[in-house]
């Protein structure tokens, strides 16, 4: 039965060069990594590892239940208060992933009385949140302020949430946050900013909302992940305390999900503390990204990701294989993981790359692109 059902789907993907495959990485490979999202280079930092190990010794390997039962520890509370302070927000609520933080906040604010306005390049987790929310959803062209203003002004719903990313995950361009916040305020709407690729990288690490002077405003809400700059796992919603209380009572991905494990909390907390003690790390990320972008002949990135358009999906995969054969791991993104349908190499800069690593990586990538194009 499954053969008739799934085999034609698999064949159709294969014919278009879009089959996805898993590749287990070795713990001790000596590749130059430009595919992971460990932007600050902290996932192997000895202080972060020690904090996670100590948390396991103290609290055990799991959080044992949902946050509302036994899944909240002192580590969750410390992480929430330090994240909120760092981002300039009144409060934070930790979820077990960034994906669930987005699902949680959007579904808890959504419903028939709320219009959701979604940038067309928004991350899949926010797209899925829209689908689950039972709200009317308006998808607007990428970074189009006028379109946002129009749908807000013409709505019948009493509430509205405008959703964007501070730094977009694939193209790494930025949203016009100050203007979006002004349009939202004028139209009695909330602005939800996913800072998955901003916090730890932009605004000296404090994120784009902070750098734009929008942190702490009543109508601006931030979501984030602990899986990138914070070198761990987990997610959070940051904003007014009233929103936090609402989420604790209404966000199903918070209520019905086991709490983030204590080791992940401790690792994220340790990474945040290292970032504060070593505030030059974000600048190192930008310098590495600028070097990669210049070598590949693409515009400078707003964050850590350098996005290199390729002729097609097969060329993208082939170029990534050639890089791997020469000691450099890069991301290869193809439809449907690219917002504009263009396959691309996705290179992620990180603060731990040496000048020699970057020189070598640039040479290998430029050569691979030349061979397939």
Ligand X SMILES: Cc1ncc(COP(=O)(O)O)c(C=O)c1O
Q: Which of 194, 319, 328, 352 binds ligand X (CB under 6 A)?
A: 194
- Number of shown-chain residues binding ligand X (CB under 6 A): 14
Name the packing angle between helices 355-372 and 281-296 (round to 10°).
30
**What are 60-65's contacts with CB under 8 Å, separation 24+?**
60/262, 61/261, 61/263, 62/258, 62/261, 63/258, 63/259, 63/260, 63/261, 63/262, 64/258, 64/259, 65/258, 65/259
- Binder to ligand X among 43, 63, 73, 97 (CB under 6 A)? 97
Instruction: Specify the stretch interacting with ligand X by CB under 6 A; choose among 179-187, 193-201, 211-219, 270-278.
Output: 193-201
Report the residue number, 225 or 343, with the smaller CB distance to ligand X.
225
By CB under 6 A, is residue 257 in contact with ligand X?
Answer: no
Interaction of residue 244 with ligand X, rule CB under 6 A: no
Told to check if 202 binds ligand X by CB under 6 A, we report no
Q: Does 169 bind ligand X (CB under 6 A)?
A: yes
* Residue 123 engages ligand X in binding (rule: CB under 6 A): yes
Could you tell me the smallest distance in angstroms from the CB atom of residue 226 to ligand X?
7
| Beta bridge mates, 259 | none
What is the footprint of ligand X within residues 6-25 (CB under 6 A)?
A: none
> Is 301 within 8 Å of 350 (Cβ atoms)?
no
Q: Of 114, 125, 208, 350, which lies in the binding site for ligand X, with binding defined by CB under 6 A? A: 125
Does position 118 interact with ligand X (CB under 6 A)? The reply is no
Figure out which of the listed residues 235, 239, 262, 339 binds ligand X, where binding follows CB under 6 A. 235
Alpha-carbon distance 72 to 95, whole Å?
A: 11
Indicate whether 198 belongs to the interface with ligand X (CB under 6 A): no
Whether the CB-CB separation of 153 and 187 falls below 8 Å is answered with: yes
Quote the tokens at residue 111.
């419903």
Of the candidate spans 132-140, 190-198, 202-210, 242-250, the one that interacts with ligand X by CB under 6 A turns out to be: 190-198
Minimum CB–partner distance for residue 198 and ligand X (Å) = 9
Q: Please name which of 304, 310, 355, 20 lies closest in space to residue 168, comparing C-alpha atoms.
A: 304
313 phi, psi to nearest 5 deg:
-65, -40
Work out how close the CB of 201 gets to ligand X at its nearest, in angstroms, rounded to a whole number. Answer: 12
Read off the tokens for 248: 């604790």
Out of 43, 143, 172, 227, name the contact with ligand X by CB under 6 A: 227
Q: At what angle do helices 46-59 and 262-277 cross, to 10 degrees?
A: 150
């Amino acid at each position: 039965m499954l053969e008739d059902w799934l085999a034609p789907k698999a064949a159709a993907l294969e014919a278009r060069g879009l089959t996805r495959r898993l590749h287990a990485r070795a713990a001790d490979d000596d590749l130059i990594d430009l595919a992971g999202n460990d932007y600050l280079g902290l996932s192997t930092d000895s202080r972060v590892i020690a904090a996670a190990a100590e948390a396991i010794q103290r609290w055990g390997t799991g959080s044992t239940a949902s946050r509302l039962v036994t899944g909240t520890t002192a580590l969750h509370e410390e992480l929430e208060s330090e994240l909120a302070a760092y981002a300039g927000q009144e409060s934070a609520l930790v979820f077990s992933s960034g994906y669930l933080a987005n699902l949680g906040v959007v579904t808890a604010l959504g419903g028939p009385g709320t219009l959701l306005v979604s940038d067309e390049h928004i991350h899949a987790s926010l797209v899925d949140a829209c689908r689950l929310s039972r709200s009317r959803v308006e998808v607007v062209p990428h970074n189009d302020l006028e379109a946002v203003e129009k749908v807000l002004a013409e709505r019948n719903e009493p509430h509205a949430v405008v959703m964007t990313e501070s730094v977009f995950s694939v193209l790494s361009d930025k949203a016009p946050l100050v203007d979006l916040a002004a349009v939202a305020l004028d139209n009695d709407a909330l602005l939800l900013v996913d800072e998955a690729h901003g916090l730890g990288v932009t605004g000296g690490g404090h994120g784009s909302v902070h750098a734009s002077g929008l942190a702490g405003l009543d109508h601006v809400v931030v979501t984030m992940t602990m899986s990138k700059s914070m070198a761990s796992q987990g997610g959070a919603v940051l904003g007014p305390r009233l929103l936090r209380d609402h989420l604790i009572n209404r966000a199903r991905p918070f209520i019905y999900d086991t709490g983030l494990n204590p080791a992940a909390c401790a690792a994220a907390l340790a990474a945040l503390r290292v970032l504060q003690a070593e505030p030059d790390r974000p600048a190192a990320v930008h310098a590495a990204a600028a070097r990669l972008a210049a070598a590949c002949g693409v515009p400078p990135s707003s964050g850590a990701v350098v996005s290199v358009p390729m002729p097609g999906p097969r060329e993208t995969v082939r170029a990534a294989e050639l890089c791997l054969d020469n000691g450099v791991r890069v991301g290869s993104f193809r439809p449907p993981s690219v917002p504009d349908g263009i396959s691309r190499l996705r290179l992620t800069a990180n603060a731990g790359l040496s000048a020699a690593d970057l020189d070598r990586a640039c040479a290998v990538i430029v050569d691979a692109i030349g061979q397939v194009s």
